[in-house]
Chain A
Amino acid sequence: MDHDDLQRIAEGERAAAKSAEIRCCTSSGCRASGSKEVLSRLKAAVEANGLGDRVAAVGVGCPGLCSAGPVVQTHPDGAAFGKVTADHADGIVSALSGGSAGAVRIDPHQPFFTKQLRIVRATAGQIDPERIEAYIAAGGYEGLYRVLQRRPDEIVADVTASGLRGRGGAGYPTGLKWATVAKMPPGQKYVICNGDEGDPGAFMDRSVMEDAPHQVLEGMAIAAYAIGANQGYIYVRAEYPLAIERLQTAITQARKAGLLGRGVFQTPFEFEVEIRIGAGAFVCGEETALIASVQGLRGTPRPRPPYPAESGLWDRPTLINNVETFATIPAILRNGPAWFAAIGTATSKGTKIFSLTGKVKNAGLVEVPMGTTLREVVEQLGGGTADGKAVKAVQTGGPSGGCVPASLLDTPIDYESLASIGSIMGSGGMIVMDDADRMPEVARFFMEFCADESCGKCVPCRVGTVQLHGLLTKLVEKRATRHDLDTLIELCHLVRDTSLCGLGQSAPNPVLSTLRYFAGEYEALLQPEEFARPTRRSAVPLTVIS
């Protein structure tokens, strides 16, 4: 494969395109509500109406509005239909020639679509994720080609200049991480893509892997060239069978096309990618646990340093980035770092995908520029709550994150702003809550999750989360006293300050953040003390705000 071949494939794909396309989402969400059947009926309807020469019914990635699934869009007229059933197929096909669709139309000009800026999800909902030709026609692998014409250090410099920060949650500068691995002495190095997304209510990475598997591969290949690695692993949780299937298809196609393997674009660059499937442990999203799991060991974290950049997979320098981070890379290298750095805020560049769920009207995936306020995402893109009630809080960052009260919805979405109000950007889960949601119960839900997912290695997380869950249960069941509340807070501090890895350290966040903003709800559940107790004098500060 050389650059001419790449362009030939792109041109061939464009030439073969029919004048109209009916695009049916075939990603997990819509597939679960029957979109495969819809697609086959659409194809049959196209043939039955004799439109096969100018209309194509194709399966595409997720257009984002999951709550309206299965979603079907028609191109180029830009119409969209929601809650499509197989019986709507004939109507949708006839609508192309001016007939009545008979299906629920979705307004493609509503803020949910128009307020988004899609960089990572640029092709999602537009192209067939199972065909490499479709990705190449959309500009795919052009970034990799250009990268291979330059020196590796220039690529690292570009990523640094773009201001991209890790999308897995912590927001570590991606360029700095790449530079660290690149500077390790030459020798065996590895690239790992972390696709072990596990936060309740988060499905951004699943969609990226399902909708744009080649984009992830291209990002990994660029990274491998920049740091000097020849082997990559994608760690995907087993609960994402479609993502695994599509990534495997993409790897096979890319290898066949000469975009993976030896002599990529007729350069000495060589890169192989293998998939590793998780076995159901949330903690394997933590990088050192993930690495242990890839090696076939028990998935438990180990203390850092040494960081994986220095000593990672099989003790070799390892670059480990999140799915969304890798999927952002091709666009940065195609359009230049300055283009990317111009989007977002001073410290948080580019766009971020959020999975908007909970009591929100438009649930699904949104990609917005950093600096967009929570209010814009929830009220404009999300359309507020489904039944028009007031939004009470938004939970960001999953079990490691916190609840942001409605009064702070004007907070811009960037790493620092969210941290300053006691939550985190996290991987991108965003759960909208209304008055029916009781915060102590929300906190208890997340604590149950953490206790269940604790790997059991360190004492504070293993036992502390179980005791915290017990205390929260006592509180929710109105059996707790103020003394118990003090114990709860004290234990939160212990687990946060002494746990070995990020899972334990952040496990108390949902409790601490709800206590910070909704203390009244906790107080209201307290029972009077049976006996007068002396005032607690704890060495652990019992303040919630840190």
Chain B
Amino acid sequence: MAVVTLTIDDKPVSARAGESVLDAAKEAGIEIPTLCHLPGVSEAAACRLCLVQVEGRGRLQAACVTAAAEGMVVRTQTDTLREYRRMILELLFTEGNHVCAVCVANGNCELQTLAAELGMDHVRYPYLNPARPVDVTHKQYAIDHNRCILCTRCVRTCDEIEGAHTWDVAGRGTSSHVIADMGQPWGESVTCTSCGKCVQSCPTGALFRQGSTVAEMTKDREKLGDLVTARREKKWSV
């Protein structure tokens, strides 16, 4: 197998021929931020967070779709790149309705984590406050379009891994939104296999398992009585 060597952030890195700069960097311990990239499915090159500077190329290149090449010199952390990444995150925060405090993914959200890591501590553009629906018609899962960043990971996972192609994108521009089948409620989808891969692939709290939202959290007080009884009578159910 052909191997190429390149330089990423002044560090010599080896990569298999055809491997993306993103993967090559990751193997060498250099993390390039991404949101739409998901190992195992095709690349969308849509979030533009993994843009890097490649010496000799006029335009910034998306690391996920740029093949590592012999002698390539890549910079992933210039001031401009860092600023652009922050701005892209700001744009994402203005586009949807991202309220971390009441989100199922709070603390486990890639958008939130990246914002913290990249120092996006405030948003300079006005929030667009779109009116977006929540679809809870599916028995096990739900989709909150307010938190969707249109990374299309769910679309690609459903199509390429599960083979169901339940999800796709409709509309254009900021009216873009993911739809189940031909735009019917998720619960009425005839193609959805309820496998839940889309839920696992979602970087934010847009796709989630029902029962996991803040509003749905309940206290099971009967458990207290059960515990007391079990301890007293030394009867623990298996």
Contacts and interface: CB of A to CB of B under 8 A. Distances in A.
Interface of A: 281, 283, 298, 302-303, 451-460, 462-467, 470, 487, 490-491, 494, 497-500, 505, 538-540
Nearest to B88: A459
Looking at A281, A457, A460, which has the most chain B CB atoms within 10 Å of its CB?
A: A457
B168 A298 contact: yes
Contacts of B138: none
A486 B174 CA distance: 24
Contacts of A464: 91
A455 B172 contact: yes
A458 B150 CA distance: 9
6 contacts: A454-B174, A459-B150, A463-B91, A463-B95, A463-B174, A494-B87
* Chain B interface category by residue count: 35 or more
Given A464-B91, A467-B91, A487-B124, A459 B48 contact: yes
Interface stretch (B57-65, B188-196, B214-222, B230-238): B57-65
B161 to A, nearest CB: 19
B92 A459 contact: yes
A452 B174 CA distance: 9
Looking at A457, A458, A463, A499, which has the most chain B CB atoms within 10 Å of its CB?
A: A463
Contact of B91 (A303, A457, A460): A460
Contacts of B62: 303, 500
Interface of B: 43-48, 51, 59-60, 62, 65, 79-80, 82-84, 87-88, 91-92, 94-95, 124-126, 128, 149-150, 168-169, 171-176
A459 B133 CA distance: 21
A13 to B, nearest CB: 47
A452 B84 CA distance: 23
Given A298-B168, A454-B173, A458-B46, A490 B150 contact: no
A540 B83 contact: yes
B45 A500 contact: yes
Contacts of B47: 458-459
A494 B172 contact: no
B175 A456 contact: yes
A415 B57 CA distance: 21
B79 A500 contact: no
Given A303-B45, A462-B150, A466-B128, A456 B84 contact: no
B88 A494 contact: yes
Given A459-B150, A487-B125, 10 more contacts: A451-B173, A454-B172, A456-B174, A459-B91, A462-B95, A462-B173, A466-B174, A467-B125, A498-B88, A539-B79
Contacts of A453: 172-173
A467 B94 contact: yes
A470 B174 CA distance: 13
A416 to B, nearest CB: 16
A175 to B, nearest CB: 23
A487 B123 CA distance: 12
Given A454-B173, A458-B47, A463 B92 contact: yes
Contacts of B169: 298, 456
Contacts of A498: 48, 51, 60, 84, 88
Given A463-B92, A494-B84, A455 B173 contact: yes
Looking at B59, B91, B126, B149, which has the most chain A CB atoms within 10 Å of its CB?
A: B91
B82 A539 contact: yes
B43 to A, nearest CB: 8
A455 B46 CA distance: 11
A302 B45 contact: yes
Nearest to B126: A470
Contacts of B94: 463, 467
B74 to A, nearest CB: 16
Given A454-B173, A463-B95, A466-B174, A303 B65 contact: yes
A499 B46 CA distance: 8
B174 A462 contact: yes
Nearest to B169: A298
Per CB-CB distance, the 5 closest pairs between chain A and chain B, nearest first, are: A456-B176, A539-B83, A539-B79, A463-B91, A454-B173
Contacts of A538: 83
